[in-house]
Amino acid sequence: MNKIEHIGIAVKSLKSSNALFSKLFGETAYREEAVLSEKVNTSFFKIGETKIELLEATDKDSAINKFIEKKGEGIHHIAFHVDDILAEVARLKSEGFTVLNDTPKVGADNKWVIFLHPKTTNGVLIELCQEIKR
């Protein structure tokens, strides 16, 4: 892992949270993207080197909807950038972490993504991200 790739925030309404975070940052979202496999709509803001991902559920079975029902809106995950996602996952497994998907999934903003179970990371959902090379 070499830097924080983004911080994911679960929101009830992308539209109203886009307006709120635009006011907060003084900038509008630079990207909006639906990720069907995760049943979410996302938007991204950039503040210097830091990316913030807002996530709105598109289905009641979405991880984001379940999270909001249990804990309310707020920080949902921290994503770390990696150069070699499969090597990093092999290392983390050998250290005893529980990986939620062994095979990388296509995430937002052109990334391969893999999640670690929050039960093995002190209650924090961790996402690993590697650029998809096209």
Ligand X SMILES: CC[C@@H](C(=O)O)C(=O)SCCNC(=O)CCNC(=O)[C@H](O)C(C)(C)COP(=O)(O)OP(=O)(O)OC[C@H]1O[C@@H](n2cnc3c(N)ncnc32)[C@H](O)[C@@H]1OP(=O)(O)O
Q: Is 40 in the site for Co ion (CB under 5 A)?
A: no
SS3 label, residue 17: helix
Which one, 48 or 123, has the nearer CB to ligand X?
123
Q: Which of Co ion, ligand X, none does residue 64 bind to, with CB < 5 to 8 Å depending on kind? A: ligand X
Which one, 27 or 69, has the nearer CB to ligand X?
69
Provide, rounded to whole angstroms, the least separation between the CB of residue 107 and ligand X: 2
SS3 label, residue 118: helix
Which one, 61 or 96, has the nearer CB to Co ion?
61
Please select the residue that binds Co ion; options are 8, 41, 43, 111, rule is CB under 5 A.
Answer: 8
**How deeply is 71 buried, as exposed, middle or buried, from its count of CB atoms within 10 A (0-12, 13-18, 19+)?**
exposed
HEC profile of the chain: CCEEEEEEEEECCHHHHHHHHHHHHCCCCCEEEEEHHHCEEEEEEEECCEEEEEEEECCCCCHHHHHHHHHCCEEEEEEEECCCHHHHHHHHHHCCCCECCCCCEECCCCEEEEEECHHHCCCCCEEEEEECCC
Which one, 14 or 55, has the nearer CB to ligand X?
55
Binding site for ligand X (CB under 6 A): 8, 35, 38, 40, 42, 53, 55, 63-64, 66-67, 70, 76-77, 79, 100, 107-108, 111, 113, 115, 117-118, 123, 125, 127
Q: Which of Co ion, ligand X, none does residue 130 bind to, with CB < 5 to 8 Å depending on kind? A: none
Q: Annotate each residue in 69-88 with x if it binds Co ion (CB under 5 A) or - if it does not, as one string.
A: ----------x---------
